[in-house]
Amino acid sequence: MRLQIIILFRGTYRIFSLKVDELREEEEGKIWAIGGGKGGTGKTFLTSSMGIYLAKNGKRVLLIDVDIGGANLHSFLGINRPRKSLTNFFEMGIPLSRLAVNTSVDNLSLITGDVHSLASDSIKFTQKLKLFRHIMKLRRQYILIDLGGGSHNNTLDTFLMADKKIAVLEPEIIAIENMYHFVKNALYRKIKMSLKAYGFKEVVEHMWEQRERYKIKSLKELIDSLKESFSHLGDILDKELSDFKIYLVLNKIRSSQDILIGSSMKSIFNKYLGINAQFAGYIEYDDAVWRSIRERRPLMLNYSLSRVAKEIGVFTENLLHEREMKVSRS
């Protein structure tokens, strides 16, 4: 369907024609951020694979590699490192739309970070806000942001800005701990930043630093305590934290027992952080992943019938439709 817009100007008129589906598509822009704290869990592999899956299913997708200092998303797409990167945005003010390069998949483009330039923690606050503003203005149906490892404030803020906050973990104790701390740090930052405008940032910091004195054992208890001590903060916190939902993806599983970690993490987040987490899905460990990187052909294209490719399809559909992964304990 096409929409006709007629503009009258000094007695003459011009007719513009706009395809309505395009209009709706552009308005639907959704930002997904993929993080999780620990390095090497598969964030970049999953970002590239989800991007390919969505693009192959007719969505217009842009991938942004904000792993500044360690950008390698292009390798997972089987393309050369793009010459222009986010550094050109930060240092020369080149618009993001001009930094996007096409990939071998229709409807899938990429903006890369940089390996030679700034470390993520050296991006200034104003630069970061400018980046967020510009990302939000980009006209794509889906924007997938690969955050890289670590829990620096810039990484946390990018995670917090996203419509969907996706945390990747693997069934291994350090990855589980790192991911828990990553989400905890993000929540703590969200509480502080939400209450900053009301003059309560320092109160939050004080109560958390002195948590033993206030008998606070978890962030959930900190939130409850803030609500109890300052009743007017209740509605503010409820509103600000209402969209703080984590989508868990468990990568590199080697047994059906491993899958149970997804549901356990969901309960832990609820109990200690008081937040809603959804177990979106799991992906098996498969040597085809590194083989596809070596062959410079993405797994979603070269091994499209593999179990890993199917699992990626399942959890991406779960993310799209807000569905939970069904886990049977047998």
Ligand X SMILES: Nc1ncnc2c1ncn2[C@@H]1O[C@H](COP(=O)(O)OP(=O)(O)OP(=O)(O)O)[C@@H](O)[C@H]1O
Residues in contact with Mg ion by the rule CB under 5 A = 43-44
Q: Report the run of H or E that residue 280 belongs to, with start and end.
A: strand 276-284
Q: Is 148 in the site for ligand X (CB under 6 A)?
A: yes
What does the CA dihedral 277, 182, 165, 71 come to, rounded to 10 degrees? -150
Binding segment toward ligand X, per CB under 6 A, in 111-119, 121-129, 204-212, 281-289: 281-289
Q: Which does 289 bind (CB under 5 to 8 A by kind): Mg ion, ligand X, none?
A: ligand X
**Contact pick of 107, 141, 155, 251 for ligand X (by CB under 6 A):** 251
Sheet strand arrangement including 61-65: 101-102, 108-111, 61-65, 142-146, 30-35, 164-169, 245-253, 276-284
269 versus 303: smaller Cβ distance to ligand X: 303
User: Is residue 155 a contact residue for ligand X (CB under 6 A)?
Assistant: no
Binding partner at 125 among Mg ion, ligand X, none, C-beta below 5 to 8 Å by kind: none
* Contact criterion met (CB below 8 Å) for 286 and 306: yes
Among 283, 309, 312, 325, binds ligand X (CB under 6 A): 283
From ligand X, Mg ion, none, interface partner of 52 (C-beta below 5 to 8 A by class): none
Does position 325 bind ligand X by CB under 6 A?
A: no
Q: Cβ(247)–Cβ(259) under 8 Å?
A: no
Tell me how far, at minimum, the Cβ of 46 lies from ligand X, in Å.
Answer: 7
- Which 288-317 residues touch ligand X, going by CB under 6 A? 289-290, 293, 308
d(CA 250, CA 167): 9
Contact partner at residue 252 from ligand X, Mg ion, none, CB < 5 to 8 Å by partner kind: ligand X
43 sits near ligand X (criterion: CB under 6 A): yes
Q: What's the rounded Cα separation, in Å, for the pair 82 and 100?
A: 9
Instruction: Between 78 and 148, name the residue whose CB sits nearer to ligand X.
Output: 148
Q: Which is nearer to Mg ion, 44 or 85 (CB)?
A: 44
Nearer to ligand X, 200 or 247 (CB): 247
Q: How far is the CB of 114 from ligand X (least distance, A)?
A: 14
Phi first, then psi, for residue 315 (nearest 5°) are: -75, -30
What DSSP string runs through 6-72? Answer: EEEETTEEEEEEEEHHHHHHHHT-EEEEEE-SSTTSSHHHHHHHHHHHHHHTT--EEEEE--TTS--
> Distance (Å, rounded) from C-alpha 32 to C-alpha 316?
11
- Residue 66 binds which entry of ligand X, Mg ion, none, CB below 5-8 Å type-dependent: none
Nearer to Mg ion, 94 or 115 (CB): 115
Take residue 68 and report the two structure tokens written for it: 């500044």
Residue type, 175: A
29 or 35: whose CB is closer to ligand X? Answer: 35
Q: Can residue 58 be called a binding residue for ligand X (CB under 6 A)?
A: no
From 156, 252, 281, 316, residue interacting with ligand X (rule: CB under 6 A): 252
User: What torsion do the CA atoms of 110, 253, 292, 46 make, to the nearest 10 degrees?
Assistant: -10
DSSP assignment of 211-275? TTTTT--SHHHHHHHHHHH-TTHHHHHHHHHTT-EEEEEEEEE-SGGGGHHHHHHHHHIIIII--
Minimum separation from the CB atom of position 93 to Mg ion (A): 26
End-to-end alpha carbon distance in the chain: 50
Residue 149 in the binding site for ligand X (CB under 6 A): yes
Count of residues of this chain found to bind ligand X when the rule CB under 6 A is applied:
20
281 forms part of the interface with ligand X (CB under 6 A): no
Q: Which residues sit at the interface with ligand X, rule CB under 6 A?
A: 39-45, 67, 70, 148-149, 251-252, 283, 285-286, 289-290, 293, 308
